[in-house]
Amino acid sequence: MRETPRPQGAAGDSGSGLPQHRPGRAFAHTTGASGSGTPHRSDGRSSQTPRGVRQPDQAGRLGTTPPVPRPPAFFTALFGLLPIVLCAALFALVSQQVATGGPLRSLDERAGRTLFGRGPEPLTELLADLGSLPVALPVLAAAVAYTLWRDGARRRYEALAAVLAMAAVPALVVPLKALIARPGPLTDATGYYPSGHTATAMVAYGGAALLLLAYPRLGWTAPAAGVLTLATGAGLVLRGYHWPLDVLGSWLLGAVILLVSSRCTRRSSARTATGCNGPS
C-alpha cells in the first residue's frame, strides 16, 4: 500500500510550529473577510443579530416565532352556550311528546303505573316534600346570606342571580302547566307538567351549591344538591304525585335556569373585574 507522504519538516518542529490553515476548512473564530474581527458566518451577519434588523424569510416575515393562535371568540361563546342549547332542546322535545301524546308519553304512563306505590310511604312522602317551598327556600336563603356575610358586595351579583333564578321557576312553570294541561297520575285534575316541586328543588339546592362552591370546605354541597334533587323526583313519582316525564322535564328546565344564571353571573363578574383593574 502507498503511504501518505508526511508534511516536510523535522520531527522536532512538530510541537513548536503554528497550525496551518487548510484550504476549504472553516474555523469557528476566523475573522470575516472585512477584517472587522467578528466571528465568521456564512450569511455575513454577526452572531448576535438584533431582532429589529433581522432579515425576513422567503415569505416576507421576520424570523421570529409567531404567537400561539387562540380560538375565535365566536367558537368560545358557542361552546359555552352548547349545554344550555342542549338542555333547552331536550326540554322542548319532552314537552312536545307530553302535549301531543307521542310515544314517549305512552311509555311514560306505563312506567309510572308500575312505579306508583312502591317504597315505604313515610319515606317517599318525606322525599317528595323536599321540593316544597317551606323546605327548599330556607336553604337557598341561608346560602345567599352566608355568601353576603363572607364576601359582601364582591359577590352581590352571584347572590342576586340565585334569587332571580328562583323567581324564574314559578314564572316559567305556571304558564307551562296551564298550556300543556296534563292530567295527574291519580286524579282528573290537570296542570301536572312540569313538576313545580322538582324545579323548585333543583334551582334552590343547585343555586345554593353554586354559591357555596367558592369555599373549599363547602365543596360537598354540590353532590348534596344533586342527591336532594334526585330524591325529590323519586319521591314524587313513587308517591304517585307526578309522572316520570313531569320530573324529567323539570330537571331539564331547572338545568337551563341554572346554566343561564351561572353564565350571566360570570360575565357580570368579569366586567366588574375588568373595570376595577383597568386604567383609571
pTM, two decimals, is 0.70
Return all residues near 196 (Cβ < 8 A) that are at least 6 apart: 131, 169, 170, 173, 174, 177, 250
Closest by Cα among 182, 185, 197, 177 to 240: 185
> Cis peptide leading into 71, omega within 30 of 0?
no
Cell of 54: 433581522
How does pLDDT run along the chain (280 residues), one tens digit per residue?
444 555 444 444 444 455 555 555 444 444 444 444 455 555 555 555 555 555 555 554 555 555 555 556 555 666 678 999 999 999 999 999 999 999 999 999 999 999 999 999 999 999 999 999 999 999 999 999 999 999 988 999 999 999 999 999 999 999 999 999 999 998 889 999 999 999 999 999 999 999 999 999 999 999 999 999 999 999 999 999 999 999 999 999 999 999 999 988 876 555 544 444 443 3
CA–CA gap between residue 118 and residue 136 (Å, rounded): 25
